Amino acid sequence: MTETPFAARRHPLGTVELVPIATAAIPEIATRMAAIDPWARLRRPAAAMAERIAVPDPGAHRFSIESDGAILGYVSIRHPFLRGPYLEQIAIFPEAQRRGLARRVLDWMAGEVEGLESNLWLCVTEWNEGARATYRALGFDEVAPLPDLVAPGQSEIFMRRRLDAAPAA
Ligand SMILES: CC(C)(COP(=O)(O)OP(=O)(O)OC[C@H]1O[C@@H](n2cnc3c(N)ncnc32)[C@H](O)[C@@H]1OP(=O)(O)O)[C@@H](O)C(=O)NCCC(=O)NCCS
């Protein structure tokens, strides 16, 4: 039987690997995410971040990004979504940024649905310029602002990367 996309197993990505989220890893990931933007600026408490990562959800595929047992980041992908998966959360911790990890994760995400789906989706907060630049560099187009979605007075930008699959009927 062919494996379903985003299977809960280790996925090697060059020098790092995606590891299905382990309960023991959640406090460290949540604490580190709460300390960096956009979550720091939004004042998301680490406990709330941890709760969101831990809540059972069969549609969410959650992985720590690891190298030699060290956690370098976190990614959560929602699939199925809208004729393609949705990048729900990604955090590459500061010491691992600008080393191509987000590029690898997004290319893996595309590879998991190659020939099956015709889009990747995500949202980015309007003032998160680093992430917006990253997603533009990785082939995403800004589709529409979604005002007040996450916090009053700010917009999330819905972004789409088209894939080469034929649209499903
Ligand atoms: C945004 C984020 C995921 C990018 O991850 P990353 O692994 O550093 O990105 P990559 O190294 O794969 O970068 C890919 C390309 O994106 C662009 N890019 C990455 N970070 C950038 C930044 N801060 N400013 C401008 N462009 C950037 C570059 O073009 C880069 O290619 P280059 O390194 O060859 O120049 C990471 O900085 C992060 O986790 N930030 C904090 C949390 C966050 O904002 N998450 C996203 C919420 S929507």
136 ligand 1 Cβ < 6 A: no
As given in the structure block, the two tokens for residue 13 are 């990505």
Averaged pLDDT for residues 10-19: 98
Q: Report the separation in Å between the CA atom of 133 and the middle of ligand 1, taken as the mean of its atom positions.
A: 7
Distance CA 31, CA 27 (A): 6
pLDDT greater than 90 at residue 79: yes
Q: Note the pLDDT of residue 157.
A: 98
Whether 5 is covered by a domain: the verdict is no
pLDDT greater than 80 at residue 166: no
**Which residues make Cβ contacts (< 8 Å) with residue 160, sequence separation at least 6?**
119, 120, 121, 140, 141, 143
Distance CA 144, CA 130 (A): 18
Q: Note the pLDDT of residue 28.
A: 98
87 ligand 1 Cβ < 6 A: no
pLDDT greater than 80 at residue 154: yes
Whether 46 is covered by a domain: the verdict is yes
Q: Note the pLDDT of residue 1.
A: 61
Whether 169 is covered by a domain: the verdict is no
pLDDT band at 164 (very low <50, low <70, confident <90, very high): confident
Please give the residue range of the domain that contains residue 38.
11-162
Domain count, the chain: 1
97 ligand 1 Cβ < 6 A: yes
pLDDT greater than 70 at residue 167: no
Whether 71 is covered by a domain: the verdict is yes
Kindly give the interhelix angle for 26-34 and 46-54, rounded to the nearest 10 degrees: 130
Residue nearest to atom 44 of ligand 1 (CA): 131
Whether 3 is covered by a domain: the verdict is no
Atom of ligand 1 nearest to the CA of 106: 12
Distance CA 137, CA 131 (A): 10
**Residue 18, domain CATH:** 3.40.630.30
Asked whether the bond before 38 is cis by omega within 30 degrees of 0, the reply is: yes
Q: Report the separation in Å between the CA atom of 131 and the middle of ligand 1, taken as the mean of its atom positions.
A: 6
pLDDT greater than 80 at residue 44: yes
Q: Report the separation in Å between the CA atom of 169 and the middle of ligand 1, taken as the mean of its atom positions.
A: 34
65 ligand 1 Cβ < 6 A: no
Residue nearest to atom 33 of ligand 1 (CA): 98
Mean pLDDT (the chain, rounded): 96
Averaged pLDDT for residues 138-160: 97
Whether 2 is covered by a domain: the verdict is no
Asked whether the bond before 152 is cis by omega within 30 degrees of 0, the reply is: no
